[in-house]
Amino acid sequence: MSSETNAGIWRAVTLTTLVIPFGVLSLAVLAGQGWFVDAQAFVLHAALGHSITLLGVLAATFLWLLRAYRYALLATVQAVLLVTQTGLGYAGRRGGIAIASSLHVPVGVATFGLGLVLALLLAQHRKQMRFMARNPL
């Protein structure tokens, strides 16, 4: 891949990883709305959850393709947490499995925290890459 292509992929991955934690935070708001205001908010909660999971898988995939192994490993853990979160949500809501519902919130908090860490690390990495491109040794 050319350096221009890599720069574009880095930009897209960085933006994607910034969107994920805010999406997870909005999921928490929608879940609260679903429990206390309008049960239809769970439909939006599920759709947004699937979209965020897809973004997480795409971010991990592109980081592996870029051979950014440290970041790819973190993104893969995040993607696994997002898929787990989706499964826990369905098991708790549709299956009535209490343990799934009790794990759904802590996994969401962990996903949010890891998402913020990953987004900040990638933003810092991109900033360093731009600095190195402007100031070669």
Per domain, the residue ranges of the chain are 3-130
**H or E stretch including 67?**
none
Rounded CA-CA distance 28/18 in Å is 17
pTM of the predicted model over 0.75: yes
Does residue 108 register a pLDDT over 90? Answer: yes
**Helix-then-strand count for the chain, H and E:** 4, 0
**pLDDT tens digits for range 6-33:** 888 999 999 999 999 999 999 998 888 8
* pLDDT recorded at residue 129: 86
In this prediction, residues 100-115 reach a mean pLDDT of: 93
The whole-number pLDDT of residue 52 equals 97
Binned at pLDDT 50, 70 and 90, residue 38 comes out as: confident
Higher pLDDT among residues 37 and 51, named by residue: 51
- pLDDT per position as a tens digit, 39-88: 788 889 899 999 999 999 999 999 999 999 999 999 999 999 999 999 99
Cα torsion 8, 10, 16, 22: sign: negative
48 versus 133: the higher-pLDDT residue is: 48
What percent helix, strand, coil does the chain show, rounded to 5? 90, 0, 10
Instruction: Give the chain's mean pLDDT.
Output: 91
